[in-house]
Amino acid sequence: MNIYSHILVATDGSKYSEPAVCYAMRLAKESNAKLTILHVANVHGYVEVLWHDMKKKYKNEGERVLEEIREHCENSDVKAETLLEEGVPYLKIVEAAKKLHCDLIVMGSHGHSGLEKILLGSVAERVIGISPVPVVIVPPDVGKHLLESKEK
């Protein structure tokens, strides 16, 4: 029985979200579920003069992150959509899950700040706190062996 029909995986492009992306790809493939890969460009908090440049920089960076994952999906025969949003990451992640009627959110335990947040990063923590659907948190050492690439 496939209990998931649409999985949302959130990535900040850090090495800590890679296992989450691999896990979600594998889960989507096995469950025959749709997969959406979301990156939120965190463009808030910059003073007006810097805002335009920073926004461009973050959006370009986000496009690059998503493009790389798109390629990874193609090489692994996984069908996926990518989505680039801007705003406050945890709010946008939950908003996207609701809007797309996702039944699962997959995330890394940590992100760009790394393991200095010993237990859990704040984006992960906040999504768990307000998500209307189950959230799977994938720890850093869950390997990429979950997926076999066509390139091998």
Ligand X SMILES: Nc1ncnc2c1ncn2[C@@H]1O[C@H](COP(=O)(O)OP(=O)(O)OP(=O)(O)O)[C@@H](O)[C@H]1O
Could you say whether residue 123 binds ligand X (CB under 6 A)? yes
Options 17, 31, 36, 131; binder of ligand X; rule CB under 6 A: 17
Could you say whether residue 69 binds ligand X (CB under 6 A)? no
We find the least distance from the C-beta atom of residue 150 to ligand X, in angstroms, to be: 25
- Asked if residues 10 and 105 have their Cβ atoms less than 8 Å apart, the reply is yes
Residue 39 contact partner, candidates ligand X, Mg ion, none, CB within 5 to 8 A by sort of partner = ligand X
We find the least distance from the C-beta atom of residue 24 to ligand X, in angstroms, to be: 10
Could you say whether residue 11 binds ligand X (CB under 6 A)? yes
The residue number with the shortest CB distance to Mg ion is 111
Q: What is the CA radius of gyration of the chain?
A: 15
Between CA 135 and CA 20 the distance in angstroms is 11
Which of 24-32, 36-44, 50-58, 95-103 is the region at the interface with ligand X (rule: CB under 6 A)? 36-44
Containing 55, the helix (H) or strand (E) segment is helix 48-75
Q: Residue 12 or 103: which CB sits closer to Mg ion?
A: 12
**β strands within 68-140, DSSP E:** 81-86, 104-108, 135-138
> Would you give the DSSP letter of residue 137?
E
Long-range contacts of 50-56 (CB under 8 A, 24+ apart): 55/86
**Which stretches of the chain bind ligand X, using CB under 6 A?**
10-12, 16-17, 20, 38-40, 42, 89, 93, 107-108, 110-114, 117, 121-124
